[in-house]
Amino acid sequence: MKFYHRLAYYLVGFTIGLFFVAMVLSGKDTRCNYFPNARVLNDIRNKPFLYDIEASRRLSEDWVDTLDIKNTLTNGDVDFDKSNKPIDGGKLYIVYGKTKKNKEITLEIINYPEKAILRNIIRKDK
Give residue-wise pLDDT tens across range 40-51: 999 999 999 999
- Residues 23 and 61 both lie in one domain: no
- Residues 17 and 54 both lie in one domain: no
Q: Which residues contact 124 (CB under 8 A, 6 or more apart)?
A: 103, 104, 105, 106
- Residues 39 and 77 both lie in one domain: yes
pLDDT above 90 (res 31): no
Report how many domains make up the chain: 2
The pLDDT of residue 30? 65
- Residues 45 and 14 both lie in one domain: no
- Residues 6 and 58 both lie in one domain: no
Regarding beta strands 116-123 and 49-51, do their DSSP bridges make them parallel or antiparallel, or are they unpaired? parallel
Average pLDDT of 65-85? 92
- Residues 41 and 23 both lie in one domain: no
The span from the CA of 72 to the CA of 65, in Å, is: 11
- Residues 20 and 44 both lie in one domain: no
- Residues 48 and 93 both lie in one domain: yes
C-beta separation of 84 from 37 below 8 A: no
- Residues 52 and 89 both lie in one domain: yes
- Residues 2 and 46 both lie in one domain: no
- Residues 82 and 62 both lie in one domain: yes
The pLDDT of residue 62? 85
For residue 86, what are the domain limits?
A: 31-123
Q: Roughly how many angstroms between the first and final C-alpha of the chain, as a whole number?
A: 69
Q: Mean pLDDT for the chain?
A: 90
pTM of the model: 0.74
